[in-house]
Amino acid sequence: MIRDDIIKIRIDIVSEQQHALSLMLASDGAIVRQGNGDLPVEEAVFDGQIDSSVFNTLVERLDDQLFAYASVYDHPDKTGIPLIYSVAFLDNQGEESFFEFRFATQTADLGDLLPCFDDFISQAVHLTDSWYQQQLVKS
């Protein structure tokens, strides 16, 4: 997979078996979002359209070499509140690249890959937050 072929991004954060964030972005600006990654969980789910530049900005943050490491990473030391970060990419050929990180709030030594995805997820939340907040106000 290469970043220029990505047409859809799916991000999920599960904490204490609750979906703290569920976010889908498509290259055409389609968006579905629930939550912001924090507890307590925001239950409202909204879908709509945003400027496709948000999607493009996120994809530009990716390095093509990253996709060679797509896998499930289950950290052996899950001290604290269990967390699961999932990030999936779909390309224009229907191929999927999936990353899942299972760790906890006090897990030490997270390696190099998880901080990269933590930053990616934070940017996705930040870039879609004004749209999400507007939807919360409307509801």
Residue 13 pLDDT more than 90? yes
Q: How far is the first Cα of the chain from the last one, in angstroms, to the nearest whole number?
A: 38
pTM of the predicted protein model: 0.93
Q: What is the domain extent for residue 10? A: 3-138
Residue 41 pLDDT more than 90? no
Residue 102 pLDDT more than 90? yes
| DSSP one-letter code for 16 | T
Residue 43 pLDDT more than 90? no
Query: Domain total for the chain?
Result: 1
Cα–Cα distance, 76 to 117 (Å, whole number): 19
Residue 50 pLDDT more than 80? yes
User: What sign for the dihedral angle of Cα 62, 63, 68, 71?
Assistant: negative
In the chain, how many H helices and how many E strands? 2, 7
Cα–Cα distance, 31 to 136 (Å, whole number): 14
CATH of the domain at 74: 3.30.1560.10
